Structure 1
Amino acid sequence: MKNDTSDSDLVLEFQSGNKKALNQLVKKWHKRFCEKAYWIVKDADVAKDIAQDSWNDIIKKIDTLKNPKSFGSWALRIVCNNAFDWINKNKRVQKHKEQIKYERKNIEVETEVDDTNHFKIKLLNVFKLLPEHQQIVIRLFYTEDYSLKEISDILNISIGTTKSRLFHAREKLKQLLKQ
């Protein structure tokens, strides 16, 4: 077999059982297959894989090729179809990954909301266990945003007593929440 054998002759020889004809077809076409696949998928490693997979498809289907002269366009069509299939599959996988990420995020948000609501309920129940004078200081300081000076004026107690009640209320809350 000489090197300048036409594609149609190589295809006919391969169809007749000459496996060496396939080696010549691969040498002649593999680089073009890689280039065509790369042109579509824009990833060199993926393009090489697509070209290799395309050769597997070509070998399986070459017996169905009726016009051996059309080998080039027929084979390139297989490469293109495989490349487009890869893109579509990759889009589906990417879309599926995004859907999973979205669902996880929603579950995390729901869990956080549940945890937050649970914590709020627990905090309110524990808050009710504090002495009334500590509850008042906590409410004025945290929910009404009064300063220590303003709280001491409202309750007609010293700033030191206000600080002390606030400190002891926090400590008591921490202790009760740990239980």
Structure 2
Amino acid sequence: MKKDSHIDTELVIAYQAGDQKAMAKLVQRWHLIYCKKAYWLVKDTSLSKDIAQDCWQTIMDKLHTLQNPSSFKSWSLRIVYSKSLDALRERSRKHSKETEFDKSHLSFVEDDKENIDLKASLLKAIKRLPEQQQIVLRLFYTEDYSLKEISELLSISVGTTKSRLFHAREKLKLILKPIIGKT
């Protein structure tokens, strides 16, 4: 997708000029990516599809206001991210404030008994972190985003991103110290 960003730019310009087929091509190029990004945050297939659909409605309504067509990727992914967070907030209001963390993301731990216990402890510790810190941890460690990319995606400064990552690590150290000391 990175090398084809000029295609997105051309499609955005065409849509802004009134070409409805350009939007269909954008949807074809990006819909699956939006579904995956939304799923990565909300961990619900059906909800992620709804979020992606909702994002397309917002994109179609506001694409004419995008002043720099070459920024379509980051602009649209911010919409996906924001709508996903809105869905998470809504879900947490209805249910509980616990967020799920997909255990499959921690494949770096071998599956022997001791490491299974350690993995479970780590998951519990991560769930105890504030949601903002959990998200930064996920983006940095499981999605391999850079600090700059995370700051752009979350619309926060690089300093805030570093701070959230630092504080998340420090809290995890404190939470896991008694557990790790036993092993």
Q: Normalising by structure 1, report the TM-score.
A: 0.50
Determine which structure has more spread, i.e. the larger CA radius of gyration: 1
Name the TM-score, length of structure 2 as normaliser: 0.49
Give the number of the structure whose residues are more often helix, by fraction. Answer: 1
